[in-house]
Chains A and B, each alone.
Chain A
């Protein structure tokens, strides 16, 4: 029997359907805080299937992941897109996600790494489907303090999570909302950051949201120093950390509109820092004072 569950993340409802007895349900505990009773129509739905009908496959984008990063290649197919997923650059493809052109319906076939595939399929569909809805998925770590969310951005390995950890240790009242992929959504003109089921290696799945206090790009440096960026710089910083297939015009337009609106409303900074306590003190002193 097929079991369908609905979830709500940053106010957007989506559903996942697969066999009720499948062990994978037990491995998807990260979605439980986001379970939604229903009543609202799904913005998008994903089902797990045994077979995928793929016709007229043409390469659209071949990813170029760094060591340790996942590989996601994209093709156009009859009626939409096909995403091929692999957890590491040199591992074979283990999941095929076929989605309709508007990203509202997806079918996923997996042969291994099934949890990885389900999580990534839902993240991709979420980012693309909500791009035109004042919503962006951000590759960031997010700490809450004084009722506001502070996002730390940076390339993989720069120390986003480390910096959040330093806030938790050094800034009274700070706690972790999400460690890898929070969502920012603008509601009533106010950018708010939401916890999500996607938090990287840190199991932190909080269904809660706060106004964004500041967005800070982390740069490794031999000293601790923070600078406020202008709107255009802040835009560039946030844009490079936002998920979305920019090759599709509606997605690119949506991303641009949301990121530029956020950059105009929220103070953006760049923090040159060491991975030390002083970094959290320098950063929090500046951003808490201006948030």
Chain B
């Protein structure tokens, strides 16, 4: 999967948000808020193709977390991004 073109991660008062800014997203009139670990994952896969395994690896690299938990969290976040329309499968 891959982050769709035109979505930018920004930070406002310590809260991360993804905003549709590219020409492809001019009519995307919503905003996705993210916590710090989601923003970290986003930055880790920005501009490239990625899998749930890539997200899992990013999580286990940075956080003290079991592989099983990381894998479940990674799958959940990928699903959330796809449902929100910011990531294409």
Contact = CB atoms under 8 A, between A and B. Distances in A.
A2 interface: no
B12 A260 contact: yes
Contacts of A113: none
B23 A60 contact: yes
B21 interface: yes
A231 B13 contact: yes
A91 B12 CA distance: 41
Contacts of A239: 19, 31
Contacts of B8: 252
A236 B23 contact: no
A236 B31 contact: yes
Contacts of B22: 246-247
Contacts of A236: 17, 31
Tier of interface size on chain A: 10 to 19
Nearest to B12: A260
B15 A232 contact: yes
Interface string B11-33: 01101010111110111010101
B6 interface: yes
A195 B6 CA distance: 33
Given A235-B12, A239-B31, A246 B17 contact: no
Interface in A11-58: none
Given A256-B10, A260-B12, A232 B26 contact: no
B21 A247 contact: yes
B12 A64 contact: no
Nearest to A236: B31
A247 B6 contact: yes
Interface in A256-272: 256, 260, 263-264
B27 A64 contact: yes
A264 B13 contact: yes
Contacts of A64: 27
B21 A263 contact: no
A121 B15 CA distance: 36
A202 interface: no
Contacts of B12: 231-232, 235, 260, 263-264
B40 to A, nearest CB: 18
A239 B26 CA distance: 12
A61 B13 contact: no
Given A60-B23, A61-B26, A232 B17 contact: yes
B55 to A, nearest CB: 24
Nearest to A59: B23
Interface of B: 6, 8, 10, 12-13, 15, 17, 19-23, 25-27, 29, 31, 33
Given A235-B17, A260-B12, A263-B12, 8 more contacts: A64-B27, A232-B13, A232-B33, A236-B31, A246-B20, A247-B6, A252-B21, A264-B13
